[in-house]
Amino acid sequence: MFEGLFDRPITVAQQWAGPLLEERLRYLSHLAEQGVGRHALQVRAYYLLVVAQRLRLAERPGELISSGEIDRQARRWALQPGPRKVIGSAWQRMYFRRYATRWLHFCGRLQPLSEPPHRYAEKIAAFADFLRREKGLAPSTIRSGCSIVREFLDRLGLAAGDSLGTISMTKLDDALAEYVAAGGYSRGTVQLIVGNLRAFFRYAEMCHWSRPGLAAGLKAPRVFAQAALPVRPTWHEVQQVLALTKGNQPTDIRDHAVLLLLTVYGLRAGEVVRLRLNDLDWEKELLTVVRSKSGRSQIYPLSRVVGTALIRYLREARPRASLREVFVTRYPPFRPMDCGTLYLIVARRLRAVNPSLAHYGPHALRHACATHLLEQGLSLKEIGDHLGHRHPDTTRIYAKVDLARLRQVADFDLGGVL
């Protein structure tokens, strides 16, 4: 099988010599029978070998592997250098977890989810409910914050009989320093982590679970609001990217529709992958978008160029799947497109135009859309409404991009004033 998947003899040899050969071949044959294509099988074969090595599966015959162990190994592996790897890449962690979980489930070696609950599961659930009811945060924000809290509490290393009330400020500082050092996080990410921990310990103090003053004692590095310009491609580069996808191949047709949604409407990645067929009102020429952060629906007029690209994708490039999502995987088994796949689509296209761009993700196109609207003379309020911002401060960063107007301010003659 490997000779038919890979062209390089050294890659074929590595696959044949790798651990759990029989189990890997059985799973790949199963996928091939389901209609999975050659490229997808190549990717899965690569990750199966990595998973078998990282989890030491051959040394632990018959042992069940937990989801927690898969997550830990995915993070560690993503942080290590290697060929064709982006250190710390979120999508590589995601693929490691996804393919490891599916393969181990197929082999009967995935530990059931009926594990003992986290020792602070009830408190974290109460905190999540508080964030939902009192703060009105989006489900994705709540999940992310609770995940940080859960992982941090594990790092505290409290004994089985200890409660949150035994945590001292010294222990909290030491655990935070270790947590940050292990992750190699940027200042902005550290500030986000500390913000979530402050919110949790503030709630814990309110519920009398912990000592007072812990939340106030947590210190984060200072990050100045709007200190940096949003990283984005120029509008000329955006036009080049769109021109590259005007071909007749199914991937070009799909990518063109995706890129237009990101650039014309400035949508977030999650908003694109969650787009459903019933969100497209062809008769009234309307597009409904469910916002990732607020969960609210926003209705746009369906641009003719976007509508034409979507119709072409639905007619010529979208697989005949029963799914209601607009964008689905190209090969069976068909599933809705995820944010990781969307990132790869955008990154590949942007790299072809500007290899030195600092960020290649879908959010870079959202910034490009906002900057282009500013250059066309729209106000910050209008841009914020278009992007679905709930607070005007979120849009204010784009005022720094309007360099022409900033130069006019800098060149203003103060001779008559001074």
Residue 137: beta bridge partners? none
Q: Is 268 a catalytic residue?
A: yes
Beta-ladder partners of 328: 336
Give the dihedral sign, CA 237/242/245/248.
negative
Give phi and psi for 411, each to the nearest 5. Answer: -90, 5
Which one of 318, 363, 367, 372 is the catalytic residue? 363
**Distance spanning both ends of the chain, measured CA to CA:** 81
- Reported as type and span, the H/E element at residue 101 is helix 90-107
Domain residues of the chain, as ranges?
2-107, 121-217, 235-406
Q: What is the CATH number of domain 121-217?
A: 1.10.150.130
Reported CATH class of domain 235-406: mainly alpha
Catalytic hit among 232, 366, 372, 386 = 366
Q: Is 389 annotated in the active site? A: yes
Q: Mark whether 366 is an active-site residue.
A: yes
Buried b (16+ CB within 10 A) or exposed e, 107-138: eebbeeeeeeeeebeebbeebbebbeeeeebb
Spatial strand order in the sheet of 297-301: 280-281, 286-290, 297-301
CA distance 236 to 93: 33
**pLDDT (tens digit, 9 = 90+) per residue, 256-283?**
999 999 998 989 899 999 999 999 999 9
Residue with tokens 């990781």: 340
- Say how far apart CA 402 and CA 397 lie, in whole Å: 10
User: pLDDT tens-digit profile of 322-374?
Assistant: 889 999 988 777 889 998 889 999 999 999 888 877 778 888 888 888 888 87
- Residue from 293, 312, 330, 359 carrying the catalytic annotation: 293
Which residue matches tokens 């607009």?
Answer: 326
What one-letter code names the amino acid at 237?
E
Is 293 one of the annotated active-site residues of the chain? Answer: yes
Whether pTM > 0.75 for this model: the answer is: no
Residue-level pLDDT at 324: 93
Exactly one of 268, 274, 318, 372 is catalytic; name it.
Answer: 268
Q: What is the pLDDT along the chain (418 residues), one digit of tens a residue?
A: 788 888 888 988 988 999 999 998 999 988 887 767 788 888 899 899 999 999 999 988 888 988 889 998 888 888 877 665 566 577 888 889 999 999 999 999 888 865 556 778 889 999 999 999 888 887 878 988 999 998 888 888 776 666 888 888 888 888 888 888 877 777 778 888 889 999 999 999 999 998 899 888 888 766 544 445 556 788 889 899 999 999 999 999 999 999 999 998 989 899 999 999 999 999 999 999 988 877 788 898 998 999 999 999 999 999 888 889 999 988 777 889 998 889 999 999 999 888 877 778 888 888 888 888 877 877 777 777 787 766 655 555 555 545 444 444 444 444 444 4
Quick check: bond before 19 cis, omega within 30?
no
- Check if 291 is active-site: no
Q: Which residues neighbour 236 within 8 Å (Cβ) at sequence distance 6 or greater?
A: none
